[in-house]
Amino acid sequence: MPKNDDLTLLERNTMTTATTFETIEVTLCNNVCTISLQRADVLNAFDNTLTTELAKALKDASRNKEARVVVITGSGRAFSSGQDLADLKAKYVPGHEPHLGEDLKKRYDPIVKLIHTMEKPVIASVNGVAAGAGCSLALACDMRIASEHASFIEVFVNVGLIPDSGSTWTLPRLVGFGRAMELCLTGRPVKAEEALAIGLVNQVVSAEELEEATAKLANRLASLPAKALSLTKRLLNQSFENDFKEQLDQEAFAQETAGRTDDHFEGVVAFIEKRKPNFTHE
């Protein structure tokens, strides 16, 4: 078998490669990096190892030029049930004073920041329940495809906490202020069909179709000009903070950048010649 250096780019991109982790599985295939949470026995609840490994995998994916799209999903019957409360059993005794703000800054905030700032699309493939920090993880992604068995729960209020890991920023932007207030204050579950109706997810499919539907979307995005996608993501994320004039200025700067890419030239020429463009992501 030839060494990896001897393989063509196409051959490498059609291979499924894996990196060994303890609590996640990472594969790269056809320019799509898939990160699967692998703590199915505890509904993919977050412990220190999982948050550390997930942050590393996201950082690696953001730097890997062959990974043009990232997919996050869960193994078993859950996407993620959030913080593993079993880890807290020994700590929560009379006199214990938790420092949750520092924990957020160290463990969870780096993950959602990496997703938010990554210059490539991130898709949440939500196979089951996404609760607490698991819900926040799904909301932090750029798009969400949900299985019919998926549900989303801002469960924090049930343990006397506030929605964190970016939920108070992402949720109002997805479903509107009033709906976000309701979901955060009540902590009620939102099932897949309702999630689709209120704009929380982009698509709902059967459990059997989830992997195929996710791959279809991911492969479609991976085939499109990478610079255009990254600039578009950046502009949309900035749009809630910028006033109209500032957004127009940012659009002009981004369009100037996009217009100088090889992919823009190829796209225009392919349109004129009535053929499919051959994007090189340069």
Give 35-93 as a DSSP string: EEE--GGGTT-B-HHHHHHHHHHHHHHHH-TT--EEEEEESTTEEE--B-GGGGTTT-S
Distance CA 154, CA 241 (A): 24
Q: Which two tokens stand for residue 38?
A: 């692998």
pTM: 0.91
- For the chain, the structural domain boundaries read 4-223, 226-272
What fold, for 226-272? Answer: Lyase 2-enoyl-coa Hydratase; Chain  A, domain 2 (1.10.12)
Give pLDDT, residue 20.
84
DSSP string, 251-269: HHHHHHHHHTSHHHHHHHH
Tell me which residue of 84, 96, 17, 92 sits closest to 57, measured CA to CA: 17
Among candidates 202, 259, 200, which has minimal Cα distance to 228? 259
Q: Edge-to-edge strands of the sheet including 17-19?
A: 17-19, 24-29, 32-37, 69-74, 122-126, 143-147, 203-205
Residue 151 DSSP code? E
Please tell me the predicted confidence (pLDDT) of residue 93: 77
Residue among 260, 263, 239 at smallest CA distance from 250? 239
User: What number of other Cβ atoms are within 10 A of residue 109's Cβ?
Assistant: 16
pLDDT band at 86 (very low <50, low <70, confident <90, very high): confident
Please determine, for residue 39, whether its predicted confidence score (pLDDT) is greater than 60. yes
Q: Give the pLDDT confidence of 68-83 residue by residue, as tens digits.
A: 999 999 999 999 999 9
We find that the CATH architecture of domain 4-223 is Alpha-Beta Complex (3.90)
